[in-house]
Amino acid sequence: MVNSRQFLTGSEVFVRAAIDSGAGFMFGYPITPASEILSGWINSGKKYLQTEDEIAAGFALCGAVLGGEKAFTATSGPGNILMQDGLSMAEGMRLPFVMVAAQRGGPSSGTVIYSQQEVILSCFGGNGEGMRFVYSPSNLSELYKFTRKAFNDAWHYRFPAIILTDGYLLKTKGVIDFAKIGEIKNISPRALVPKDSVVHWPNIYTFEEELYQEIKLAKDDFEKVAEDIADCESYQTDKADILLVAHGIVGAAAKEAVDELRKKGINAGLFRPITLRPLARKKLDKIAGQESVKKIVVVESSLGQLARIIRDQIAPEICAEFAYMQYPGLGIETEAIVDFVAGLRVVSGEI
């Protein structure tokens, strides 16, 4: 029997999740920190195509899923920009396009390991106004679970699904216990264009009204399932004074910060969106709308990309003040969050 407790990198966990999801094909072009996904996939013996660039990988993936192949791609930074071309087509045609975005620093080539600067690009990067699911796991176990879920949601609801990660999560080697995750059933793929059949399936329209109808249909479908897809972690939020909001690996640091702040007598809690699109709006409003909440502190390794989403989605009548801790392209450790929040309280004269 294989020991369920294993010591693996994030990339290894992702590859295993993709295999367990029944994926059979990867299209991609190597780029740090996503390269180990491509090399790990190749080493697993599964089918792959290393294309000339990310644009080709994206459209090859669109073609493969049309033929009923459960397939995916992985990219990062400048590659994520190019991938938006194929992703936009997948949004327009409602294709189950699954992608891992491994955030690195930018603009341009920036740094090679870490940032949270691809949030807006990953959530809203296409032209027009397509719909997609974006999951932001904070640890190896969530990376496994939400990769499995991304494949299932993409094929079940027929929207592109992105697993948003970073080089810390993918390159970190840590302990994961598969026995604790439990069984996840796969949604079977089906050929969207059956073999030997001719289907007229446009991704361009002659009349504005036609496109309008398509966008409206996609929006309605998305909104119908948004509540089921939307996921978050709420930690120590009941009657909290200070509400931290953070996602991904920074969300993990923020969770530790909540414990440390509480030891100092600061009544902090954490709202950690697991899906960035759709956002768990109802839960956010319920937590942030508590009378006790005096301040909402958005913590992120970017210049306010998560903050933009939160401010856009939160109910307008919620009147707690916002504060922002922004380290663009830089990791944020627990201690830094604790100091920042404790500093806020001193400035506002609360302690």
Partner 1 sequence: MLIKILIAGDGGQGVQTISDIICQAAFENGFFVNHIPNYGLEQRGGVSLSYITIGDKEITYPKFSMPDILVVLSKQADNRTKQYQKESVKMLNIEDYKKDLEKQSVKPQNYNIFFLGLLAKILVEKKICGEDCVLKLLEKKFGKKENWEEKKNVFELSLNYV
Binding site for partner 1 (CB under 8 A): 7, 111-113, 138-139, 168, 171-175, 249, 252-253, 255-256, 331, 333-336
Return the number of the residue (173 or 311) whose C-beta is nearest partner 1: 173
Return the number of the residue (1 or 199) whose C-beta is nearest partner 1: 1
Supply the minimum distance, in Å, between the C-beta of residue 43 and partner 1: 18
Q: In the numeric block, which tokens belong to residue 202?
A: 């446009």
Q: In the numeric block, which tokens belong to residue 346?
A: 């001193």
Whether 158 contacts 179, CB under 8 Å = no
Before 160, cis peptide (omega within 30)? Answer: no
Q: How far apart are CA 17 and CA 20, in angstroms?
A: 5
Supply the minimum distance, in Å, between the C-beta of residue 5 and partner 1: 9
Q: How far apart are CA 105 and CA 112, in angstroms?
A: 6
Q: How far apart are CA 322 and CA 288, in angstroms?
A: 11
Return the number of the residue (68 or 331) whose C-beta is nearest partner 1: 331
Instruction: Report DSSP letters for 210-224, one per residue.
Output: HHHHHHHHHHHHHHH
Q: How far apart are CA 320 and CA 310, in angstroms?
A: 13
Return the number of the residue (81 or 112) whose C-beta is nearest partner 1: 112
Q: In the numeric block, which tokens belong to residue 341?
A: 């929040």
The overall longest dimension of the chain from CA atoms, in Å, is: 72
Return the number of the residue (233 or 285) whose C-beta is nearest partner 1: 233
Q: In the numeric block, which tokens belong to residue 143?
A: 């990376």
Q: What angle do CA 235, 261, 327 make, to 5 degrees?
A: 85
Q: What is the DSSP letter of 189?
A: P
Return the number of the residue (44 or 334) whose C-beta is nearest partner 1: 334
Return the number of the residue (25 or 168) whose C-beta is nearest partner 1: 168
